[in-house]
Chain A
Amino acid sequence: QVQLVQSGAEVKKPGASVKVSCKASGYTFTSYYMHWVRQAPGQGLEWMGIINPSGGSTSYAQKFQGRVTMTRDTSTSTVYMELSSLRSEDTAVYYCARPKAPMVRGVYYGMDVWGQGTTVTVSS
């Protein structure tokens, strides 16, 4: 079955970086984009960016430009999301999520498979 398994919870100090992994299984890794979405405590869902696991190209939400880097390792079917210069407002659950359908030029699909979430706590 299709599955996304994320790395464990992290506690970081302000100014540090965090790198969250998301290992995919049960489908052709390079055929589907991967999204990252976060949710601060008690808040809604916030889209952070997308990576094309085939070529590695990315697109980030303007809010995170310059602080977020999404990468992939096709040998292990894993995508990574690194967020730098952490501040308390980055305390959140971070999700990877796979779109419902394979990549099609010019089309972005909504997500149907989500990782379990990774809690990142930023505190001094």
Chain B
Amino acid sequence: DIVMTQTPLSLSVTPGQPASISCKSSQSLLHSDGKTYLYWYLQKPGQPPQLLIYEVSNRFSGVPDRFSGSGSGTDFTLKISRVEAEDVGVYYCMQSIQLPQTFGQGTKLEIK
């Protein structure tokens, strides 16, 4: 199974400041079709996860442009350019290049 490792596991950020989360996979997520199957989710308390970024760097419909994803191969990053109060929750990276699909441990973002 592909192991997904996120750092840090928790973040405390002042509103308006940037935030960054790293995700490393134990194998390359580059598929033979040329796409890289790395996703980012935000789970707010009491809710199911919501898709933020798909295939490394594509913002999902309705996701604010302060969220951006980057990376390749096995190293990926989610960045929030200016954190807002509504961004609190747990962020997960996930790979779907192979089954079982696997998630990172989660990074809890709180507001200072």
A→B interface (CB under 8 Å): 35, 44-47, 50, 59, 61-62, 95, 97, 99-100, 106-112, 114-117
Query: In the complex, are the beta carbons of B37 and A108 less than 8 A apart?
Result: yes
Using CB atoms, name the residue of chain A closest to B33: A107
Q: Which of B10-18, B66-74, B76-84, B97-105 contacts A (4 or more CB under 8 A)?
A: B97-105
Using CB atoms, name the residue of chain A closest to B40: A110
A44-B92, A44-B103 in contact; A108/B48 too (CB < 8 A)?
A: no
A110-B39, A110-B96 in contact; A45/B60 too (CB < 8 A)?
A: no
Residues of A within 8 Å of B49, CB to CB, are 45, 95, 111, 114
Using CB atoms, name the residue of chain A closest to B43: A45
Instruction: Describe B's contact surface by its main secondary structure.
Output: loop
Query: In the complex, are the beta carbons of B97 and A108 less than 8 A apart?
Result: yes
Residues of A within 8 Å of B97, CB to CB, are 108
Q: How large is the interface on B (under 10, 10 to 19, 20 to 34, 35 or more residues)?
A: 20 to 34
Please, how many angstroms separate the alpha-carbon atoms of A114 and B54 in the complex? Answer: 15
Please, how many angstroms separate the alpha-carbon atoms of A45 and B41 in the complex? Answer: 11
Please, how many angstroms separate the alpha-carbon atoms of A117 and B48 in the complex? Answer: 7
28 pairs, CB–CB < 8 Å, chain A vs chain B: A35-B101, A44-B92, A44-B105, A45-B43, A46-B103, A47-B100, A47-B101, A47-B102, A47-B103, A50-B99, A95-B48, A97-B48, A100-B51, A100-B54, A106-B32, A108-B37, A108-B96, A108-B98, A108-B99, A108-B101, A109-B37, A109-B96, A110-B51, A110-B54, A110-B101, A111-B39, A112-B54, A115-B48
For window 90-112 of B, CB contacts with A under 8 Å fall at 90, 92, 94, 96-106
Please, how many angstroms separate the alpha-carbon atoms of A112 and B32 in the complex? Answer: 22
Minimum CB–CB distance for B6 against chain A, Å: 10
